[in-house]
Amino acid sequence: MKLKICWMYHDLMDLYGDKGNIQVLKTRCEKRGIECVVDTCTLDEEKTLADYDLLFIGGGADREQGLLVNDLLKRRDAIQEAMDQGSFILLICGGYQLFGQYYLDGDGQKIEGLKFFDYYTEAASRSDRCIGNIAVEAALDNERIIAVGFENHGGQTKGVNQPFGKVLKGHGNTYQSAFEGFYNGQVLGTYMHGPLLPKNPEIADFILRKALAKRHGECTLEPLNDMLEHKAKEVMLKRLGL
């Protein structure tokens, strides 16, 4: 069994340890004997994105988003082709924002998004910045989980009609929001850094199953010993009073 991952803009979008998400996916594959190929794709680099089972874009500040947006917009058709062929997409923070209509930064500069989805992002005042640990009740298709992470974003993402989950503690898509992230069955966008996957092995395996389905159809993953991961999550939930 084989999984191919394309980590897009690895040299620009890697905020708050987002590279850890790639390491978790690779390690969980290796423990199961699944061959995991991780390629990177940055500015002006040729890649056939539809060849990959999973596309990943991490988080970045306004400057980094401004640097890559023209390159990303040129790849819109290629990303659409990848989605049409069944690739799964994981987006963190800035990556999540760029799949929407636009991002209006703190200086009033408008960064156009890929416009795949209706949501849009506008910078908030400094007093409304969303920062701190967060816990979210989410449904991974039919599996209910509690996810934990760390958020730090000034952008307020509005118009999300398919949120990833309900906020239990923290902010989410907007300051003191009830909901966090976006999930439509194929694209998962979230503000949860930390990185997201080390303390949320259920999400990691969910993403692996969704991505592997493109090449291999529906599959069952061998259970792993996630005692340490669950202990880390328990510590965070206790810290949040949950």
Taking the CA atoms of 66, 71, 76 and 79 in sequence, report the sign of the dihedral they define. negative
The predicted model gives 188-211 an average pLDDT of 96
Average pLDDT over residues 154-158: 95
Q: What value does the CA radius of gyration of the chain take, rounded to a whole number of Å?
A: 17
Residue 169's pLDDT band (cuts 50, 70, 90): very high
* Integer angstrom CA distances of residue 116 from 46, 101, 137: 22, 7, 25
Which residue do the tokens 């023209």 mark? Answer: 70
- d(CA 100, CA 115) in angstroms, rounded, equals 5
Name which of 47-56, 122-131, 154-163, 230-239 the model is least confident about: 122-131
Q: How many domains does the structure of the chain reveal?
A: 1
Percent over 70 (pLDDT), the chain: 100
Per-residue confidence band for 142, with pLDDT thresholds at 50, 70 and 90: confident
Please give the share of the chain, as a percent, with pLDDT higher than 90.
87
CATH at residue 192: 3.40.50.880
Does pLDDT of 126 surpass 80?
A: no
Which burial class, exposed, middle or buried, applies to 144 when counting CB atoms under 10 A from its CB (0-12, 13-18, 19+)?
A: exposed
In the residue annotation, 130 being an active-site residue is answered as no
On whether 129 is known to bind a ligand per the annotation, the reply is yes
Residue 132 pLDDT:
95
H runs (alpha helix) in the chain: 19-30, 62-74, 76-84, 94-98, 201-216, 227-239
Query: Where are the alpha helices (H) located in 85-174, listed in sequence order?
Result: 94-98
- The whole-model pTM stands at 0.96
Q: Which of 6, 29, 93, 130 is the catalytic position?
A: 93
Average pLDDT over the chain, rounded to an integer: 95
Beta bridge partners of 140: 143
Mean pLDDT calculated for residue range 70-74: 96
At 76-122, the pLDDT tens digits run 999 999 999 999 999 999 999 999 999 998 888 899 999 999 999 99
Pairing of strands 2-8, 54-57: parallel
Residue 216 is a catalytic residue: no
Q: What is the pLDDT of residue 131?
A: 94
Domain extent, residue 65, equals 2-239
